[in-house]
Structure 1
């Protein structure tokens, strides 16, 4: 048995119809968990593909249409998961959207819509998970944050604000509920190839990332999924409020092109 074995567990991954969510749902199934997801209406085909991959791994899949921005829909979804699959052991808050727009051109509706999914949706997910995990004094919550919370990008103030809030939420809940047997941690992806970022990764942006990232490449959803599986497993049992950065070394790379022979002359 591997240290990240999840055999017999039931996991939720919000937004598992594409990208990191899809890769995470499949990785959790491959680790032995049954997996459920709530996804937007336009993610039906992707959700069906995710379900097929979960079932190909020999696990049960449940894909439900809805939005994490609605507390009522998240609660109804959680009820259905426990009714159809059993008690929820792992909850991964992943569903998000990206808005690239100058701050002064971001309307009130834009701002609140973005935070509705990217921050409030995580609050709704955490509450739904905790309501079901606390009576059993066991469970894992993993929130997908972002390195933009510590290395912000311009033209994405709402997104960066939400991700910063996710980190704070993770730490606060880890302190409040750690003694109740609930592990709450986060995974912070760096630049990652997903449908969410495809339109923004122009050749120039890609070159800049490849120069900045220590490992020399943009991340893949599977890179992040492996980290989520770890945080969902007993192997991460003594972590609390930890943000596991999965960015290929982007945030630690301080290289600015100094030549090896640029030191003072003898």
Structure 2
């Protein structure tokens, strides 16, 4: 049973064809919202759309390929969403993976690419949908961020720095948009099950081949000193996103929810 009835509300989820994004789309649809999702990979997006329509045959759903790093594509997507579903009430900015690199082996091109990805995957959709959000009585933006924003790792130096910048951006937008009636919040995820972790599992060394996924991730959680002893699930992050995007958090803006299983040490 959904925690809130979002019938009559419209949401957009970028990077919505897999992982946390897809889990968020599912929760929004369960709550009765009309949902638009986008992704860069057309095949993955089509597969996700088909699965969603099969699971939610009566749902109002719109899917389109869009690279949110392209301002023109993102603006066109925003126009298409409004034409298909009406003006948007909730925007979930969810795009981008981590870059494994140290300061010594991160060249200028890699820095530029990583900073551009993390910032403009938020900036372009926010700019494109802001006019619609301003017309909503419950306008809300949620940015999916990482615990790296407050707890950087030296082997992910560029991603950690970019994530910290996005945390600051969320707080700045929250202050600027509050008089317009649009709330802005974020989540800080720790280690959450994803395609990225699945690929690392499949590429595990020969001496670890006896470990199944559950055993491998338990060991990983122990190595990372995660108190809850496991990786998070996409739907656990999605529940926090749903809370922040919906009127359930109507008096919350400029905040971040920690979704790390106790891994956070910055407090």
Deviation at 1:246, TM superposition (A): 0.9
Name the structure 1 match of 2:43: 45
- C-alpha root-mean-square deviation of aligned residues, in Å? 2.3
Consecutive unaligned residues of structure 2, counting only runs of 5 or more, are 209-215
Q: Which piece of structure 1 moves more, 75-84 or 191-200?
A: 191-200
Matches within 5 A, 1:85-124: 85-124=85-124
2:260 to 235, 247, 251: 247
> Where does structure 1 differ by over 6 angstroms across 4 or more consecutive aligned residues?
none
Name the structure 2 match of 1:264: none
Deviation at 1:3, TM superposition (A): 5.1
3-state SS of 1:13 partner: strand
Deviation at 1:240, TM superposition (A): 0.9
Deviation at 1:154, TM superposition (A): 2.0
Q: Deviations over 1:65-111 (max 9, x none)?
A: 12111112111111110011111111000011221122222232222
Deviation at 1:189, TM superposition (A): 1.0
Q: Deviations over 1:179-214 (max 9, x none)?
A: 221111101111011013334465688624235222
3-state SS of 2:258 partner: strand
Q: Deviations over 1:146-171 (max 9, x none)?
A: 11111112221221122111111111
Aligned residue pair count: 252
Q: Would you say the 8 A contact 1:14–1:92 is kept in 2?
A: yes
Deviation at 1:137, TM superposition (A): 5.5
3-state SS of 2:253 partner: coil
Q: Would you say the 8 A contact 1:187–1:228 is kept in 2?
A: yes
Q: Deviations over 1:123-154 (max 9, x none)?
A: 11221222222244641100001111111122
Q: Would you say the 8 A contact 2:101–2:158 is kept in 1?
A: no
**Compared CA separation, residues 53 and 11, structure 1 to 2 (3 A):** farther
Q: Would you say the 8 A contact 1:3–1:233 is kept in 2?
A: no
Name the structure 2 match of 1:226: 239
Consecutive unaligned residues of structure 1, counting only runs of 5 or more, are 255-266
**Compared CA separation, residues 237 and 172, structure 1 to 2 (3 A):** same
Matches within 5 A, 1:24-173: 24-40=24-40, 43-55=41-53, 56-57=55-56, 58-136=58-136, 138-173=138-173
Name the structure 1 match of 2:211: none
Whole-Å Cα distance in 2 between the matches of residues 71 and 131 of structure 1?
15
3-state SS of 2:16 partner: coil
Q: Would you say the 8 A contact 2:138–2:246 is kept in 1?
A: no
Deviation at 1:22, TM superposition (A): 1.2
Name the structure 2 match of 1:257: none
Q: Would you say the 8 A contact 1:144–1:187 is kept in 2?
A: yes
3-state SS of 2:241 partner: helix
